[in-house]
Structure 1
Amino acid sequence: MRVADTGEFGLIARVTARLRHGQACLLGPGDDAAVVAAPDARVAASTDVLVEGRHFRRDWSSARDVGHRAAAANLADIAAMGGVPTALLVALCAPPNLDVRWAEELSEGLAAEAARVGASIVGGDMSASPTLTIAVTALGDLGGRPPVVRSGARPGDVVAVNGRLGYAAAGYTVLSRGFRTPKLLVEAFRRPEVPYAAGPEAARLGATAMIDVSDGLLADLGHIATASGVAIDLKREAFAVPGQIRDAALALSVDPYDWILGGGDDHALAATFPADVALPAGWAVIGAVGDGAGVTVDGAPYRGAAGWDHFR
């Protein structure tokens, strides 16, 4: 059955029947707008979009995989502000000949990823389009704390990361070369493992700046450096190269540090902290903040891939 056969409202009914609601959802899909609790009296909000052929391919990923990725990209942004995600709004633009089951499974993937943090899909929109596109808006609760922004890093801070780096980029390269293994790397591209709890944890620890690593560590730390008016220097020796990344890089003639330093889509969290903060397990110190501008590796500009830019 195609979505054209169900019609817009038939498809909405099929999709929303698969959703479950968390505590923050006071009124879910079915009215002109949803109602979401905001106990903090502030709402963190972020939007991301996935376009077929640009961000995903249906011959590479299942509909559930795409749902997980679409949700993770937005939920990670809330975590990077130090917040706890509460709700997602999803817009689906689909060709009329799209299989209905694909849309249903997409919603299942979205809901499953949101459930990992207790968030709900509370509404959205649908439209016909020649290009399959999923746009997601995430809402989150700051828990009474100030948001952790990009502009707070100060000279003397340490730079730390929580989460995987290079796995999704390696998986993308593997898929683009026509392979489906190593499974660990391919699955990392299909469904990122985001350390959501590390965001609020960093806020409680006194993180001075934080960002979701979506476009590549060097590129995203560059945003912190620019916003804060500081320089960031990373230590290459701080990055161990996991065995499967090392082996895949050797087989594909790729410098593994291009994946680790320049690859995105793992959605690790990178943050700066005062040097005297004792970081718990999961956080690894990878560099330091100093006077100046830009991001360097061992004191010099990195000459490999620096990150993703949609228009470059």
Structure 2
Amino acid sequence: MSYEQKIINYFEKNYKKIGDDCAYINSTKQLISSDTLVENKHFDLKYFTPQNIAHRLFLSNYSDIQSSGGVPKYVLLNISFPNKNYKFVQQIITNFHRICLRNKVEIIGGDTTSSDKLFLSLTIISDKINNTRITKRSNAKVDDKIYTFSGIGYSKLGYLSLYSKLKLPNYLKNLSVKQFLKPKMYIYQDIFRHLNITSCMDLSDSLLSTLETISLKSKKKIKLNNLNSVNSKLYKFFKEEKYISLILSSGEEYVPVFTSPKNLLYLNKKKLLIERGIKIICIGSVEKGKGVNLKNFNLGKVKKFDHFKNNYSL
């Protein structure tokens, strides 16, 4: 178990409101979430532009609210930075402001201080939402189907291309590096509102970690199949074992992983999803039991991202 998970587990045991992508404030009927980006852990100044950093900070928080069923409304921004990086930080702020305006999210406060490295922390608050409309990690039901969006795997591949010098064809390298530096942002909360979604969680650490969490919180077994549909380009390029390991361990993809008793694949023909570049795929089902299972594959070999060790390997 990672240090990160040990800390999360401590608070989950002692505070009942912790354990989902967001906390829910009953008195104001709002979702709230917070995330932090740290220089040389989540980004570096060699490859990441101010626009990339602003985008990642916004998306990592926006994704939490979306996956819980809410509409992001307000943010509080905290920044710590060395004096020498002031101009760079000013560009981050300018880009962040533009992203907020474009997505109708209001900046209502925050804090600044000096530090040896660049730190950014964002707290995001939703518009009002009734607690009956919140989508949690813990409500997956037996016989539900498990869904996500296609294209998972590029983020980790981009990381490996930049930092481990993994050799790739230009078309794959370009796709992967772009997704790693500036992940796609999908808007889907308005679509999910009209669907029978029983559980949902955003994919930040890895697909496998996300599925393990849904399994644990819902007290159900997740049986995986049809993983070749997750990323057809990568499936054609890699041998099967490496392909499966890649898509299960790729983090910071910021797509929803969700369950529903309904067949939702018909939605892929809808104009709205096509316009937003969303393709829903079914990757398994929910059964009685516990854990995540993939036939003829040892999931224990999958190497996931560790925020404390900052390691990532294929």
Say yes or no: TM over 0.5: yes
Alignment partner of 1:234 out of 215, 224, 232: 224
Structure 1 pair 76–270 and aligned structure 2 pair: CA distance change class (3 A): same
1:177 corresponds to which of 152, 160, 164? 164
- For 1:202, the equivalent position in structure 2 comes to 192
Q: 1:245, CA displacement in angstroms? A: 7.6
Look up the match of 2:112. 126
Give the structure with the larger helix fraction. Answer: 2
Q: Which of 50, 71, 75 is the equivalent residue of 1:88?
A: 75
Greater Cα shift, 51-60 or 185-194: 185-194
Could you tell me which residue of structure 2 aligns to residue 193 of structure 1?
184
Give the gaps of 5 or more residues in structure 2.
1-24, 269-278, 310-314
Counterpart in the other structure of 2:8? none
Residues 48 and 143 (structure 1 numbering): CA distance in 2 closer, same or farther, change over 3 Å?
same
Partners of 1:217 and 1:307 within 8 A in 2: no
Aligned residues: 269
**Secondary structure at 1:206's aligned position in 2?**
coil
- Give the CA deviation at 1:173: 0.9
Which residue, out of 281, 288, 291, partners 1:291?
Answer: 288
The CA distance in 1 between the partners of 2:294 and 2:111, in whole Å, is 44
Shift of residue 141, structure 1, vs aligned partner: 2.4
Aligned to 1:159, the other structure's residue is in SS state: strand
When normalised by structure 1's length, the TM-score is 0.78
Equivalent position SS for 1:155: coil
Give the distance between the partners of 2:266 and 2:192, measured in 1 at CA: 9
- 1:174–1:304 distance in 2 versus 1, CA, 3 Å: same
CA RMSD of aligned residues (A): 2.7
Residue 269 of structure 1 corresponds to which residue in structure 2? 256
Structure-2 residue corresponding to 1:154 = 141
SS of equivalent to 1:309:
coil
Where does structure 1 lack aligned partners over 5 or more consecutive residues?
A: 1-37
Output the CA distance in 2 between the equivalents of 1:179 and 1:306: 16
Q: Identify which of 200, 203, 211 aligns with 2:201.
A: 211
Q: Secondary structure of 1:49's partner?
A: strand
Give, in whole Å, the separation in 2 of the partners of 1:295 and 1:179. 29
Letter in 2 for 1:187: K
What percent identity do the matched residue pairs reach? 25
Question: Does the Cα contact within 8 Å between 2:152 and 2:231 map onto a contact in 1?
Answer: no
Map of 1:18 onto structure 2: none
Deviations 1:55-97 (A, max 9, x none): 1011011111111011100000000101111122111010122
Aligned to 1:58: 45
Distance 1:173 1:75 in 2: 26
Q: Relative to 1, partners in 2 of residues 1:160 and 1:142: Cα closer, same or farther, differing over 3 Å? A: farther
**TM-score normalised by structure 2 residue count:** 0.77
Using the TM superposition, name which of 65-74 and 258-267 deviates more. 258-267
Larger Rg: 1
